[in-house]
Amino acid sequence: MISPQKCLFDYYYKLIQDKGLPVYDYLPLEDEPVTYPFVVISQTQTVVANTKYSRNDHVFLTIDVWGSKKQRKTVGEIADGLLNSAIGFVYTDIYKFYGQANQQSMQMMIDTSVPNTVFQRGNLQLELSVK
C-alpha cells in the first residue's frame, strides 16, 4: 500500500507537471540546464496520528518555486496557486486529505546562494491531514 506521504507527493508532482512547469525532487545542479521558473518538491514528513478506527496522519511538504531575478511576479503567482491548492479537500486515488488555511505558509525571498546569481524563490510549507 502506498503511504499518504508518497501519495501526496505524487499528487503535487503531477499537478505541477500538468501546469506545464518543470518539477524536480532535487535542486538541479549548476551544470544541469533548467528553464525558469521551476519547482522543487524537496522535503516530506509524516506525523502519525492513528486512532483505533482511523488513520489521521499529518503530512508536511516543502515546495520551492525558483525563478530568475526578474520573475518575482510569476514565482509569486505559482506559489500562491500551490498554497491555495492545499486549502480544503485534496482527493487522490487512495486517500482524502484536508488542509486548513492556518496550517499553510509561504515566504517570498531573494536567494543568492549561487555566486554572482540572484534568484526569486517562493518557499511553501504545506500541512495536510489524512481524513
Measured in degrees and rounded to the nearest 5, phi and psi for residue 7 equal -65, -45
Q: Is the pLDDT of residue 116 over 90?
A: no
pLDDT digits over 80-111, tens only? 999 999 999 999 999 999 999 999 999 999 99
- Selected residue with higher pLDDT from 127 and 53: 127
Q: Is the pLDDT of residue 73 over 80?
A: yes
Sign of CA dihedral 85, 110, 42, 40: positive
The set of residues, in sequence order, having a beta carbon less than 8 Å from that of 83 and lying 6+ positions away, is 104, 106, 124, 126
**Burial group, residue 50, by CB count within 10 angstroms (0-12, 13-18, 19+):** exposed
The chain-wide mean pLDDT, for the chain, equals: 93
Q: Where are the domains of the chain?
A: 4-130
Q: What would the CATH number be for the domain defined by 4-130?
A: 3.30.2000.20
Contact yes or no for 47/7 (Cβ under 8 A) = no
State the pLDDT at residue 30.
79
pLDDT digits over 47-72, tens only? 987 777 777 889 999 999 999 999 99
State the pLDDT at residue 5.
94
User: Strand 119-130 and strand 105-111: pairing?
Assistant: antiparallel
State the pLDDT at residue 112.
92
State the pLDDT at residue 122.
98
State the pLDDT at residue 55.
72
State the pLDDT at residue 64.
98
Q: Is the pLDDT of residue 7 over 80?
A: yes
